[in-house]
Homo-oligomer: A and B are copies of this chain.
Amino acid sequence: MFKKILIANRGEIAVRVIRACREMGITSVAVYSDVDRAALHVLKADEAYHIGPSAASESYLNIAKILEAAKRSGATAIHPGYGFLSENAKFAHACADAGVKFIGPTAASMEMMGSKTRARQEMEKAGIPFVPGTSRGLESAEQAKEIAERIGYPVMLKAAAGGGGKGMRLVHTPADLKSALESAKSEAQRAFSDDEVYIEKAILNPRHIEVQILADEHGNTVYLGERECSIQRRHQKVVEESPSAVVDSDLRQRMGEVAARVAKAANYTNAGTIEFLLDENKNFYFLEMNTRLQVEHPVTELVTGVDLVHLQIRIAAGETLPFSQDDVRLRGHAIECRIYAEDPDNNFFPSPGNIRLLREPGGPGVREDSGMYEGWTVPIDYDPMLAKLIGYGSDRAQAIERLRRALDEFFIGGIKTNISLFQRIVRDDDFKAAKLDTGYLERLLQSEPRDSSYKNDDVVAIAAGLFAALDATSMTRGNGLQPASSNNKSSGAASNWKKASRFEALR
């Protein structure tokens, strides 16, 4: 087993991996940029090395600096977390060259799955189900019509070089196909300087379902149930759960076996995730493979009872998987909310700043993986995820109840967060009924929020007055030396508050 592991990441996932190291008796090494000196992962690690300025390109994405820190610290393995360098095959290569074990798949597997077209070719060979269509450019409107007849309407035209919805057209009838193809091509040309457009069957209201796999370096591969990640905003997952309400044990087994086949076709080792689209008739189609630990791995941990990060480390250290497929048992239901520093009332604009007051939920069925603390300043430089809140229950209804309760206990003062969005989701009838697809969140956000019926204006008025009265009391009480000068307003008030608070508590 490794004696020392460097974590090439920051935020909650770095803390998550550090905790696993601590549990396994492994020394953990953090790396940090200028702005992250006081970040939680630095405080929690056993060792920490500065790797550069705040810009990620000069620190968390800087392969040379990270390997230098590994060398200085004597770490013999690197956990990349997610994001940053986690799916960078060059980094995996560089680790191998430096004699440091990369905790993840081989560079070769990453390269194969990282290229969409290459992945598709390999997966076709392995007989993995795809959305019907072509992966080559259309040569003419006639060819398009012919293929569309074969796969059936509606169809989707997609720019080969595409992304972000550009050069995409949904076509419902043959009559619309020709003009749609022309406009898709010209949009693709403008956007990507490449007018190649291909055709696929359109999956309407799909669900995003993914399967967690684990593969050791001795040929053993297991799947660990699915996660439903249909609640997305701008292709970014927002809420994830396991199991999916629409996946029964038969479908689970079929998807799991396909996922394991994908992993084997890619000679995959360590933890990985196979993403599928599931249509309304419960047909599933391979989308892509994520060659790393996912943000949403905790929901799988809660329903399977295993620790994926421990297992990642054990696999990387050459151990055999300690259980087989038959030992995997799902129990209960888990739902994760990604808590972001962003303002749901202002188009989800990021909201960095100082966390002045933090109240975190606890008690039964609640897990929080956090990268923040009270008094910490959320920097402007990175992804605004602060923490993940996961509710577990014996069934989906109880998981939702727990999550609702925990969200109501959660308070992050001083910055805006998306907690209110989750409070709305867990109370939404469609969510409670598991009527989910990738369009769910957009629909919810376009609908009028339910009026929070009971208005507490009286209580607000009384509370606001009491705060003012306590401020005034503490200003004039005591030694009388407290300045009321304006530039000291906030810290002065805060310290006075301390006193007022103590006074109250002694009553």
Residues on A lying within 8 angstroms of B by beta carbon are: 15-16, 19-20, 22-25, 37-38, 44, 298, 301, 305-307, 309-310, 329, 331-332, 354, 360, 362-370, 375-377, 393-394, 398, 401-402, 404-405, 408-409, 478-479, 481-483, 485, 488, 491, 494-496, 498-499, 501-502, 504-507
Interface residue from B331, B394, B401 paired with A331 (Cβ < 8 Å)? B331
Could you jot down 28 A-B contacts, CB within 8 Å?
A: A15-B363, A20-B364, A23-B398, A23-B404, A23-B405, A24-B401, A37-B507, A38-B504, A44-B409, A305-B331, A307-B393, A307-B394, A310-B398, A329-B329, A329-B331, A331-B331, A360-B360, A360-B362, A362-B369, A363-B368, A363-B370, A364-B367, A364-B369, A366-B367, A377-B506, A481-B481, A491-B502, A494-B498
Closest 5 CB pairs of A and B: A495-B495, A23-B401, A22-B405, A23-B405, A305-B332
Extra contacts besides A329-B329, A360-B360, A363-B370 (9): CB < 8 Å = A16-B364, A307-B364, A354-B505, A363-B367, A363-B368, A364-B367, A481-B483, A491-B502, A495-B496
Contact in complex: B495, A498 (CB < 8 Å)? yes
Q: How far is the CB of A397 from chain B (nearest CB, A)?
A: 10
The oligomer's copy count stands at 2
Chain B residue numbers with a CB within 8 Å of A363 are: 15-16, 19, 367-370
Q: Cα distance A408–B21 when bound, in Å?
A: 13
Q: Cα distance A496–B481 when bound, in Å?
A: 14
Chain B residue numbers with a CB within 8 Å of A23 are: 398, 401-402, 404-405
Q: Cα distance A495–B492 when bound, in Å?
A: 8
Contact in complex: A301, B501 (CB < 8 Å)? no
Contact in complex: A365, B505 (CB < 8 Å)? no
Chain B residue numbers with a CB within 8 Å of A301 are: 364
Chain B residue numbers with a CB within 8 Å of A364 are: 16, 19-20, 298, 301, 307, 309, 367, 369
